[in-house]
Amino acid sequence: MTRRSFAAAVLAATLGISGLGLGGVATVASAGGPPPKVFTLTGYVVSANPTNHQFVVLSGITRYAIFTTSQTRYTLNQQQATFTALRPGLRVTTTGLFRAAFRVAVRVMLQQVPVTTTTTATQPPSAALSSALTAVLAQERYALVTYQNVVAKLGNLPPFANIIRSEQQHVATVTALMSVHNVSVPSAPGTGAAAPATRTLACQLGVTTETAIITLYQRDIPLVAAYPDVVRAFSNLLDASQYGHLPAYLRCA
């Protein structure tokens, strides 16, 4: 048994699966339990880790960890491929089995296609798109580091812990968009504001930070109208800040 096959067997045993239906349907569940549910997920590849037989898909503003086995089948632009075809920025549709907290891929269909009608993966980005993505990434990184500074000083206080996790997803979303559109991602993680002395002041800082993010998205969404995927992502991120983060900070400010 190869190392990959052994890992697949261990994973299948962990999930209670004794077989994977290549038609996208669960076949057998061990111990007489219910068959695993089927899932279909579409998004962009964020990362791939062959050691753990796992890749990460960005769908909307959420990242999903997908496990693979020796039975997983891959295609790239409808041609047979292998795990090594998984590259950040590729569009992916994966179908598989969901059991407990694990998603196990049965089929992974990758596409390297133009992301809009005006820009392809080999064309340089427009100045407006590059500027908007770079500015948004800097602001999301600033917010993330600022909230991490607060937690480091004042402890794991609500709502900072939950919003930190959300900001990490936001940063990942923008970074993936930059990869798709060939926009250079600054290597420096950015700096944040120093943590205030009290929770009330920290929440007020959160209000200021989220207000700045909302203003930035409202300004930049019209500037990237030629890129529907960016507009959709920016709109989702705007909603998260406007209707999730900002109200949470206003309640404790």
121 SS3 class:
coil
- Residue-level pLDDT at 18: 44
Kindly give the confidence (pLDDT) of every residue in the chain, 253 residues in length, as a single tens digit, with 9 standing for 90 and above. Answer: 554 444 444 444 444 444 444 333 333 344 455 666 888 988 877 778 888 899 988 776 577 889 999 999 999 988 999 999 887 667 889 999 987 678 999 999 988 744 333 344 445 678 999 999 999 999 999 999 999 999 999 999 989 988 998 899 899 999 999 988 999 998 877 789 999 999 999 999 999 999 999 999 999 999 998 898 899 899 889 988 988 899 999 999 8
Residues paired with residue 55 on neighbouring β-strands, in sequence order: 48, 66
- Residue-level pLDDT at 109: 92
* pTM for the model: 0.56
Residues counted in the chain: 253
Q: Give the DSSP letter of residue 186.
A: P
Domains of the chain from N-terminus onward: 3-111 (2.40.50.140), 127-252 (1.20.1260.10)
If one counts every other C-beta atom within 10 angstroms of the C-beta of residue 249, the result is: 22
First to last CA, the chain: 59
- Residue-level pLDDT at 114: 41
- The structure tokens listed for 16 are 């209670």
CB 95 within 8 A of CB 107: yes
| Alpha-carbon gap, residue 33 to 16, rounded angstroms | 8
Phi, psi of 17 (to 5 degrees): -115, 125
CB 45 within 8 A of CB 87: yes
130 SS3 class:
helix
- Residue-level pLDDT at 33: 58
- The structure tokens listed for 2 are 């190869």
| Alpha-carbon gap, residue 94 to 17, rounded angstroms | 18
Quickly tell me which residue has 């890992």 as its tokens.
7
